[in-house]
Amino acid sequence: MAEQTGQPRRDTAQRRLSDEEIALLNAADPYAVVTDKPWEFEARSKFLRNLSIVAVIVVMAIHIFVGAVLDIEWTGATITQLDKWAFPGVGLVISIFLWIIMNRPRVRANADGVEVRNIIGTRFYAWVIVYGLSFPEGARMARLELPEFEYVPLWGMQSADGASTVKAVREFRELEAKYMPKE
């Protein structure tokens, strides 16, 4: 405590974490982002975005059509106005869900490591545990190579994106060369 004010002393200088400490923190809570540096790289899939637009249009068209033709012919069931509006409403809920999950994938990197956000979950990997980026022949997406022959698919880097994915892989590999430990 500071002698005169009775307040706890605040050190403004922060200690930098070592690579081993970052890896330990990452292992303890793999969903925590342990970086405060600005992102130098970001990749998102334009293919998934376009696919989500098509999916939303198809889902909404089907649900609006069914809602419109629901009471054209009498089948013995009582159809109310609420029933007719329920189909487009359900279509809207499904469309929002599709839009969110298909536009979520992203890959970001900075001096501390790589953040991978796929359809489900976001993980941060420090450079000390990253073995590199691979894009196997015939694969739909890139992979972040990890220890013990494990890998994480990078949904934000799809082969269907073509030239933009090639550019993203080159940029990522430049950061790899710059920040990955030389072992």
Question: Is 152 a residue whose pLDDT tops 90?
Answer: yes
What CATH number does residue 122 fall under? 2.30.29
The answer to whether position 12 is within a domain reads: no
Q: What is the CA radius of gyration of the chain?
A: 24
Query: Are residues 143 and 58 both part of a single domain?
Result: no
Query: Are residues 109 and 160 both part of a single domain?
Result: yes
7-11, 25-29, 59-63, 91-95: the lowest-pLDDT one: 7-11
Domain edge (last residue) among 102, 124, 146: 102
What value does the mean pLDDT take over residues 12-19? 65
pLDDT digits (tens, 9 = 90+) for 89-117: 999 999 999 999 999 999 999 998 999 99
DSSP 8-state class, residue 160? G
How many domains, in total, are found in the chain?
2
pLDDT at 182: 80
Query: Are residues 95 and 138 both part of a single domain?
Result: no
Query: Are residues 33 and 112 both part of a single domain?
Result: yes
Query: Are residues 149 and 114 both part of a single domain?
Result: yes
Query: Are residues 98 and 110 both part of a single domain?
Result: no
Indicate the helix (H) or strand (E) that contains 56.
helix 46-69
The answer to whether position 120 is within a domain reads: yes
Query: Are residues 112 and 63 both part of a single domain?
Result: no
Cα 183 to Cα 99: distance, rounded to the nearest angstrom:
41
36-50, 67-81, 100-114, 153-167: the lowest-pLDDT one: 67-81
Cα 121 to Cα 110: distance, rounded to the nearest angstrom:
19
Domain edge (last residue) among 57, 77, 102: 102
What is the pTM assigned to this prediction? 0.76
Query: Are residues 41 and 129 both part of a single domain?
Result: yes
Query: Are residues 171 and 114 both part of a single domain?
Result: yes
Query: Are residues 97 and 142 both part of a single domain?
Result: no
Contacts of residue 168, defined as CB under 8 A and 6 or more positions apart, other chains included, come to 41, 43, 107, 157, 161
Query: Are residues 62 and 138 both part of a single domain?
Result: no
56-60, 73-77, 174-178: the lowest-pLDDT one: 73-77
The parent domain of residue 63 ranges over 49-102
